[in-house]
Structure 1
Amino acid sequence: MVPGTSIAKGRLLVATPVLDDPNFARTVVYIVEHHDDGALGLVLNRPSYEQLDDPLDRWVDVQSSPPRVFSGGPVEPDALIALARTKQPAVPPDPTTDADEDDEDTYLAPLSGTIASADLAADPALVAGSIDGLRVFRGYAGWSPGQLEMEIGTGSWLVVDSVESDIFTDEPDELWRVVLRRQPGRLGWLAEAPDDLSWN
């Protein structure tokens, strides 16, 4: 774990070179939830060849490049989850007021800063004016209570801060190296680690 950081919603998990699980080798995972029941995240750098089909193809116009469905992780591969970048920091709806079913805030659940979870069942026209990026993921990464902490303790993951461009990068294949290169000191050196550590 990078000094000064902790596992928290909105941060990144970066797989270290020693993590050879094919589901997570060289991945960057955005933490969506972390609590006593475990953790949930989305792999940011595994674009697939899948495109959105009817009726979700209505969202294509607001998808970030590349306009593909990303492989979010091995858990619940039939589930589709969308992250959106809002033009203003998203604010949780006020539970004391009646929500208008056409209110864009109803369909955007704040996660961190301007990053929100978008409801793909909504009409995209209701939120298009308030977002400037959207990424759709199939499946997610999940950890039971204490599992992620154990994996971090064994050196499989680094926990680092995210920037918005990590989620919506148009070069996801480079994201692992990009995130590592901006880390201080020796952590930045990991970006140049070969795919096969025996080459060192």
Structure 2
Amino acid sequence: MSDTELTGRLLVATPLLVDPNFDRTVVLVLDHDTDGTLGVVINRPTTVPVHEVLPAWSELAGPMPMVFQGGPVALDSALGLAELRALPRQGEDPDPLGWRRVHGDLGLVDLDLPPELLAAEISAFRVYAGYAGWSAGQLERELGQGAWYVVDAAPADAFTLSPEHSWRAVLRRQRGGLALLSTFPDDPELN
């Protein structure tokens, strides 16, 4: 797959992916190039409120103001993901200060800047502790082994208020066999 084919898309863990770091996860790919892949798991909220780790940003984190576990790598670091209220019009500055486009109206936020710089520009915001990362070629190998489904992201996926249902919901909206997999039991041996 080319770089543009993965950035901004979702990786949905197959039912056979048994790595506890990725069991039933949905990963939003933030960057994919020849050096590797970076993403965040969008369906693992923690019990830690944003105001405990980034108090200045907590007002923007509602209505679900919890830190999400973005992946198993660098859990002591934070990434901010935000959706713009509107894409810039032709002739306007392409991106607001402190926001870097990932795909469409989704982008990463510079959490070192004052949130007031972006508050009027964004409609949704989430904080992720850590990230999911793959070295060069690693994700392609995992895709070849059938560990992940690659699907298009819907606008609401990154900011759903029901992240615990994301794995099933994303699969359910796909066509064919992937929709059927949304009914795959948590433990197939009990079926």
Give the TM-score normalised by the residue count of structure 2: 0.91
Give the superposition deviation at 1:7.
4.4
2:155 maps to amino acid? E
Measured on the aligned residues, the alpha-carbon RMSD in Å equals 2.0
2:24 corresponds to: 26
Is 2:51–2:58's contact at 8 Å kept on the other side of the alignment? no
Is 1:90–1:116's contact at 8 Å kept on the other side of the alignment? no
Q: Distance in 1 between matches of 2:22 and 2:93?
A: 34
Q: Distance in 1 between matches of 2:168 and 2:144?
A: 22
Q: Distance in 1 between matches of 2:187 and 2:143?
A: 21
Bigger fraction of residues in strand: 2
| Identical columns (%) | 44
* SS of equivalent residue, structure 1 residue 48: strand
Q: Distance in 1 between matches of 2:96 and 2:166?
A: 30
Given the alignment of the two structures, is residue 39 of structure 1 paired with residue 59 of structure 2, yes or no? no
Is 2:51–2:57's contact at 8 Å kept on the other side of the alignment? no
Q: Distance in 2 between matches of 1:80 and 1:105?
A: 20
Is 1:108–1:119's contact at 8 Å kept on the other side of the alignment? yes
1:11 corresponds to: 9
Given the alignment of the two structures, is residue 63 of structure 1 paired with residue 93 of structure 2, yes or no? no
Is 1:17–1:197's contact at 8 Å kept on the other side of the alignment? no
Is 1:90–1:115's contact at 8 Å kept on the other side of the alignment? no
1:33-61 deviation digits (Å, cap 9, x = unpaired): 10001101100000001122467212111
1:153 corresponds to: 144
Given the alignment of the two structures, is residue 121 of structure 1 paired with residue 112 of structure 2, yes or no? yes
2:99 corresponds to: 108
Given the alignment of the two structures, is residue 197 of structure 1 paired with residue 181 of structure 2, yes or no? no
Number of residues of Structure 1 aligned to a counterpart in Structure 2: 187
2:147 maps to amino acid? S
2:176 maps to amino acid? G
Q: Distance in 2 between matches of 1:196 and 1:162?
A: 27
Cα distance change on mapping 1:55 and 1:181 into 2, 3 Å: closer
Unaligned ranges ≥5, structure 1: 95-103
Is 1:64–1:168's contact at 8 Å kept on the other side of the alignment? no
Give the superposition deviation at 1:124.
1.0
Q: Distance in 1 between matches of 2:85 and 2:147?
A: 34
1:80-103 deviation digits (Å, cap 9, x = unpaired): 000001012269967xxxxxxxxx
Q: More displaced, 45-54 or 166-175? A: 45-54
Give the TM-score normalised by the residue count of structure 1: 0.87
1:144 maps to amino acid? S
Is 1:14–1:27's contact at 8 Å kept on the other side of the alignment? yes
2:20 maps to amino acid? P
Given the alignment of the two structures, is residue 143 of structure 1 paired with residue 134 of structure 2, yes or no? yes
Q: Distance in 2 between matches of 1:59 and 1:121?
A: 10
Unaligned ranges ≥5, structure 2: none
